[in-house]
Amino acid sequence: MEDQMILLKELQGLDQKLNSIGQDQRKLETERQGIDTEVVRIRDMVASLESSITELEGQRSQLRLGLDQEQANVEKSEGRLPEIKTQKEYLAVLKEIDTAKKLNKDLTDQVEAKNTEIAALTEEKVEKEQSLTEMEAQIATRCGEIEQALKAFDKSSNSLVKKRDSLLNPLPKAMQRNYRLLMERRAGVAIVEARNGACLGCNMHLPPQLFNSLFLTQEIKTCPHCSRMLFVVQAD
């Protein structure tokens, strides 16, 4: 039975190592996910800036077409002026020219506004693209490191699992089950020392008779409070 306790302790040591590797793996995986999410976010921003710019350029083209049209109207009306015979007609054409010029001015202002907007968005897009390029270089390095670390973790996990199973499998089935349950429900600590009359797993006092019996019997006893399997360190 004492041999079993030695085995259980070794088993627990392996499982605790495995748990800590698992935690490290999850941390790295979370980091990698975070990096991926950030890259996607910036790429989406660049794409959305791009589509806004395209839309604005389309609107600007429409405005420029209108402007060309109005410019042509002004020239046409101005060309008619020398041939006009009556004062009334002359004034009417002048008014036409004036209206067209006002429209021209308005369209020119709108084109200018689009230019400003496009320039601002283009600048923002260039900035984002730049930070994306910088990020991608850093990310490539970091993701490579993460990949390597995860592979190393996998390798040591696999060999620890093999070793753990080789220790666990020879134990009686009921003990295996009990051990697994305790590991699961007692935060990865199934085997715990009893010292000075208390269980060091839950820090509760043990009945004196039980505590004393730990020194005498080879049988594996459990804590009545937390159910963990108890061992004592015998004084030399």
**Under 8 Å between Cβ of 1 and 8:** no
Residue 52 vs 227, nearer CB to Zn ion: 227
Cβ-based nearer residue to Zn ion, 14 or 190 = 190
Give me the least distance between CB of 167 and Zn ion, in Å please: 23
Q: Which CB sits closer to Zn ion, 118 or 190?
A: 190
Contact at 8 Å (CB) between 182 and 202?
Answer: no
- Please, what is the minimum distance in Å from the beta carbon of residue 214 to Zn ion? 13
Strands across the sheet containing 191-195 = 198-199, 191-195, 229-231, 221-222
Nearer to Zn ion, 97 or 199 (CB): 199
For residue 134, give both structure tokens. 């910088």
Q: Cβ of residue 23: shortest distance to Zn ion, in angstroms?
A: 24
Cα 40 from Cα 232, distance rounded (Å): 55
Query: Which residue, 53 or 199, is less far from Zn ion as judged by CB?
Result: 199
Positions that interact with Zn ion (CB under 5 A): 199, 201-202, 223, 225-226
Instruction: Single out the residue of 70, 79, 75 nearest to residue 99, CA to CA.
Output: 70
Q: Measured from the CB of residue 202, what is the shortest distance to Zn ion in angstroms?
A: 3
Q: List, as one string, the DSSP characters of 69-106.
A: HHHHHHHHHHHHGGG---HHHHHHHHHHHHHHHHHHHH
For the four alpha carbons of 162, 164, 165 and 170, in that order, the dihedral sign comes to positive
Shortest gap between Cβ of 166 and Zn ion (angstroms)? 28
Task: Give the residue among 199, 205, 203, 204 at the shortest CA–CA distance from 222.
Answer: 199
